[in-house]
Amino acid sequence: MSSEPARDAWYLAAEKYWVPAGDADQYPVRQGDVFGPLRIAGAEWAAAQIVHPTCELGKRSVKEIQIVRVRPLFEVADPKQQARVAAGFEEKQLQIRPAFAHTFFLAPAEHPEVLAEPGYSNLREVALFDRSHFMPDARVAAMTHDARVTFIRRKLYFRYRIALPLSEVRRLEANRIRNDPSFEGPKPDWAT
């Protein structure tokens, strides 16, 4: 396995995570977008992030959307652990390694009730929820294409322990976008 992924940052600068609220209506709902609050199996989730593959979201046969729970970063009590969640890395035995692989750091968004503070998705807290809830006007934050690539990369690492360089995940996503006849909304420069 290549050591190249360790040289890539797991996350983007905070200002590159979210589509500006005024432009979000140009973007259909996609993997990585955040919604909330939701009631899941009797529990109140302040927010949830879509992990369902984007290419599946447009299919009429999809009745439920796979989501993961979003939690505020302050719920991680230890400041050192908070820092590792926010970085995605830690130094262990003189090596840089992924830390808290089951988390994806979320920069604050413009939505004051849900993502006013830094947070993280917990990729272990997965649920299915009725797709009718996931309409653009109910969205808390629309993820940028670049941030979505980092989200896909983190998910691949967590689920399969496949450590791909960011450039490879971007190449794969560009290929998917170019070959998706149903793709809607603005395309990233790297996929045209």
pLDDT of residue 113: 78
Residue-averaged pLDDT of the chain: 92
Asked if pLDDT for residue 192 goes beyond 90, the answer is no
Q: What is the DSSP letter of 189?
A: G
pLDDT over 90, % of the chain: 83
- Token digits for 20? 């500006």
Q: Report the CATH number at residue 24.
A: 2.30.30.110
**Into how many domains does the chain fold?**
1
DSSP 186: P
Residue 66 parent element (H or E): strand 64-72
pLDDT at 4: 45
Does the pLDDT value for residue 2 go beyond 50? no
Domain range for 54 is 4-191
Please, are residues 81 and 112 in contact by the beta-carbon 8 Å criterion?
A: no
What average pLDDT does the segment 134-157 reach?
96
Q: Whole-angstrom Cα distance, residue 13 to residue 122? A: 20
Beta-carbon contacts of 18 under 8 Å, excluding residues fewer than 6 positions away, are: 107, 109, 110, 141, 142, 143, 144, 147
Over residues 111-135, mean pLDDT: 92
* Mean pLDDT computed over 167-171: 97
Rounded mean pLDDT of 3-20? 81
| Confidence (pLDDT) at 138 | 92
| Least confident interval from 4-13, 112-121, 150-159, 172-181 | 4-13
- At 34-85, the pLDDT tens digits run 999 999 999 999 999 999 998 888 888 999 999 999 999 999 999 999 999 9
What pLDDT sits at residue 7?
60
Residue 177: its H or E element: helix 166-178
Q: Is the pLDDT of residue 13 over 80?
A: yes
Q: What is the pLDDT of residue 92?
A: 87
How confident is the model over 157-161, as a mean pLDDT?
Answer: 96
pLDDT at residue 119, as a whole number: 97
Q: What is the pTM of this model?
A: 0.92
